[in-house]
Amino acid sequence: MSVQSSIKRKTAPDIRARKHGEPIVMLTSYHAHTAALVDRHCDVILVGDSLGNVMHGFETTVPVTLDMMILQGHAVMRGSKHALVVVDMPFGSYEASKEQAFHSAVRILKETHCGAVKLEGGVRMAETVAFLSERGVPVMGHIGLTPQSINTLGSFRAQGRDEGSWDPILKDAQAISDAGAFSVVVEAVAEPLARKITETIAIPTIGIGASAACDGQVLVLEDMLGLSPRTPKFVRRYGNLGPAIETAIQGYASDVRSRAFPGPEHVYEMKKS
Ligand code: KIV
């Protein structure tokens, strides 16, 4: 008897087939509960290494480990049913060699059951992307601004503002597409360049701070909900949950201090929120 789930999740080939089609909707999530909410509205859930900033308060994504990604990837898989879940490969888990990348990616796929991995870099990572794709690992690329390289970049700056600087980014996009990635995140890239990349390469582009000229968009969930202490300028806020959460916590603290909370007769009754 088959034990396969009757629910069909989106796959990497489904997302690949959306080139020039209906825009791809993608958000980050790191937890089962937010994953369940995101899952109802998004095609792809990214377990981004931005969890280092958002969940752990690190300044950069450099300290994030493979074990951290696997733990949260597992949680997101438990919380979601429909979306393709993509787990970021953290800094240091794939750059040394294509074999290192394969071992890390296999751990991610086997231990989380997610559908794909994402890694940063263009031309320099193309051989690795081909190695993984040919061996059954669906890869999402990530070009333009690559936050894991912050220590060599020096700062987070938009890429490709003047046409003279386009060439290396175009080459990165082409290399990742030719290597067999099923889609590519294009981060902090000026609109004319994002449009050119999207028109040129065969796979869907998913922009973040790269305009509506891409085949889809991704944002960090906490940024667009108004929960992050600092957000990039390009992020449109769809909520202001930080103050709402603080008001709720204040209400709770005040109830506890005045002993105005429910007694034990209510404790074991679960109600749906
Ligand atoms: O880690 C992350 O959340 C990401 C997105 C910003 C694309 O890589």
* Average pLDDT in the chain: 94
| Residue predicted with more confidence, 230 or 90 | 90
pLDDT confidence of residue 2: 58
Give, in degrees to the nearest 5, the angle at Cα 241 between 263 and 187. Answer: 140
Lowest mean pLDDT among 98-107, 121-130, 151-160, 215-224: 151-160
Q: Active site residue: 99, 187, 191, 265, which one?
A: 187
List, as own/partner pairs, every contact residues 232-241 make where C-beta atoms lie below 8 angstroms and the sequence separation is at least 24, other chains included.
Answer: 232/156, 232/188, 234/188, 234/209, 235/209
What is the position in ligand 1's atom list of the atom closest to the CA of 208? 7
CA 74 to ligand 1 centroid distance, Å: 17
Listed by start position, the domains of the chain span 12-239, 241-273
Question: Is 187 marked active-site?
Answer: yes
What is the position in ligand 1's atom list of the atom closest to the CA of 61? 1
pLDDT at 162 over 90: no
Q: By the 8 A CB rule, do 120 and 16 touch?
A: no
Mutational test site, ligand 1, from 27, 30, 49, max ligand atoms within 8 Å of CB: 49
157 pLDDT tier (thresholds 50, 70, 90): confident
In this structure, the residue with its CA closest to atom 1 of ligand 1 is: 48
Q: By the 8 A CB rule, do 116 and 141 touch?
A: no
Lowest mean pLDDT among 47-56, 62-71, 236-245, 261-270: 261-270
Cα four-point dihedral sign 85, 86, 91, 94: positive
pLDDT confidence of residue 186: 98
Report, in angstroms and rounded to the nearest whole number, the Rg of the chain calculated over CA atoms: 20
Burial 118-150 (b: 16+ CB within 10 A, else e): bbbbbeebbebbbbbbeeebbbbbbbbbbbbbb
Tell me the mean pLDDT in the region 171-190.
Answer: 97
Q: Which residues line ligand 1 (CB under 6 A)?
A: 28, 46, 48-50, 88, 142, 185, 208, 218, 220
Tell me the mean pLDDT in the region 69-96.
Answer: 98
CA 165 to ligand 1 centroid distance, Å: 23
Q: Name, in order, each residue with C-beta under 8 angstroms of 138's C-beta and a sequence gap of 6 or more.
A: 11, 12, 115, 116, 117, 182
154 pLDDT tier (thresholds 50, 70, 90): confident
Identify each DSSP E strand in the chain by its residue range: 24-28, 44-47, 84-88, 116-118, 139-144, 183-187, 205-208, 216-219
pLDDT confidence of residue 156: 82
Range 12-239 classified under CATH 3.20.20.60: yes
